Amino acid sequence: MVTPALHSAVLAAPSFLEKDILSKICGNLAPGELWAGDPLDGHNSQQRLRFFWGFVYIPRQIENDWLIWLRKLFQSQAARLWIAVLEEPLTANSNEHRFLADNTIGYIKILDTLSRKLFSVAIMPWELNSRGEEVLLNGLVGRSASVARVKKLIDKYSRVGSPVVLSGETGTGKEVIAKQIHERSSYSKGPFIAINCSAIPDELFEAEMFGYVAGAFTDAQSDREGWFQKANKGTLFLDEIAELSLRSQAKLLRVLEQKTVTPIGTSQSSSIDVRIVTASHVDLREAVKAKTFREDLYYRLSVLSIEAPPLRVRKEDILLLASYLLRQLSNELNLPVRQICFESLLILASYKWPGNVRELINKLKQACILCDELILTGKHLEFFGLPKISLDQINSVPPLDKTISRAEFKAVSDALRATGDNISAAAELLGISRMTLYRLIRKHDIDL
């Protein structure tokens, strides 16, 4: 996996993703076996080897520059989120190498000149399940504070059977959250059934939800269970519940209160034990005020609540989401693309994502179909209304401390010029004390 020729390799971040660099790195190895991975959550590979998907080794000498770039892009604590070190390198003939070749999407190993051979290593995010095993938290990918709060609530709510209301914009993953609540709860042995309430005509609500017996109406040739009976001992996810008519809401409320279902055409009821999770992109409290949603039903459903955060407030998760989704789409569509370059990540992070994760999936799917290469670049995203941006642009952004320093210098200089170098008047104009003004004059070496 690592050859002596690579010991002296020195790369400038993030140019290791460029094709010419890749060709040099991969030249001594089997074609296609090594190529760039994604900088994600860090673990020690010797301890967590069997859980690796895709990862990238970064030369120690460029680590600081790379972290600065990540902070510029995501404005987060990149060192805490994505960096770990490996004490010893893996070798070309090691069992680890053979395992990785069979089980990863690709990797790069570049030795630096340090005697202890320290490396940065990065892999996909994993979570601990209730059995202490390390598994990917399916679908709910993210390390942002907002996603961490959602995961914490999922863990707490899965311990009880109370109804849960999920709120949030379209495409934020409310059904994913509902599935996680179900799969971690005591209802996980039963089915998870998701129903889009907006797709059920009002006149068919009872038949769809509560079922019917043969002969109940003209087309009722045989008995049919409703969604409540089918979801018994499991979870029923009612999406877009605010779209139900007041008439249908009243019928739903009765079933929730009595915990029994009466199919159309019979007076015989049956008991049900169903965990109810509902969702709406409409604020149900506002719907209650507008009298389009029953207040008693709202309080029956909203014992517990979770708000799914929009993608624009969790941009630090776009890196993980894009990498995770790219692998899924590549396998699903049987396409060659496996990685996404930094320029593309920057483009994705610069977009507002009004359609949230659903829109991200659609954009990536379109880009993957157009991409005939291993790495998704900016040219594959330019057709979808995404901002045009390059690494040169982000590298040209000055550090915050320099920006503040220049602003201070200009403000003090302008104030002194406007007041004829009158310290008291300039300080008053700037809204600071004379002592502070003198300190700034010395700091910026301004001549009076």
Q: Which of 193, 272, 292 lies closest to 239 in space, CA to CA?
A: 193
Digit-coded pLDDT (tens) for 314-327: 887 887 788 778 87
Is 341:13 a contact under the CB 8 Å cutoff?
no
Q: What percent of the chain has pLDDT over 90?
A: 33
State the amino acid at position 81 in one-letter form.
Answer: L
Residue 381: pLDDT band by 50, 70, 90 thresholds? confident
User: Closest by alpha carbon to 366, among 386, 390, 341?
Assistant: 386
| Contacting residues for 37 by C-beta, under 8 A, at least 6 apart | 54, 55, 56, 104, 105, 106, 107, 108, 122, 339
Phi and psi dihedrals of 446, rounded to 5?
A: -90, 125
Q: Does this model's pTM top 0.75?
A: no
> Would you say 326 and 339 are in contact if contact means Cβ atoms under 8 Å apart?
yes
pLDDT band at 392 (very low <50, low <70, confident <90, very high): low
* Residue whose tokens read 């190529």: 35
Q: Which residues contact 215 (CB under 8 A, 6 or more apart)?
A: 265
pLDDT higher at 11 or 211 = 211
Beta strands 192-196; 375-376: pairing state: unpaired
**Which run of H or of E encompasses 105?**
none
Of the given ranges (15-24, 368-377, 439-448), which has the lowest mean pLDDT?
A: 15-24
pLDDT per position as a tens digit, 26-70: 333 222 222 233 333 333 333 333 333 223 333 333 344 444 443
Read off the pLDDT band of 352 (50, 70, 90).
confident
The residue type of 31 is P
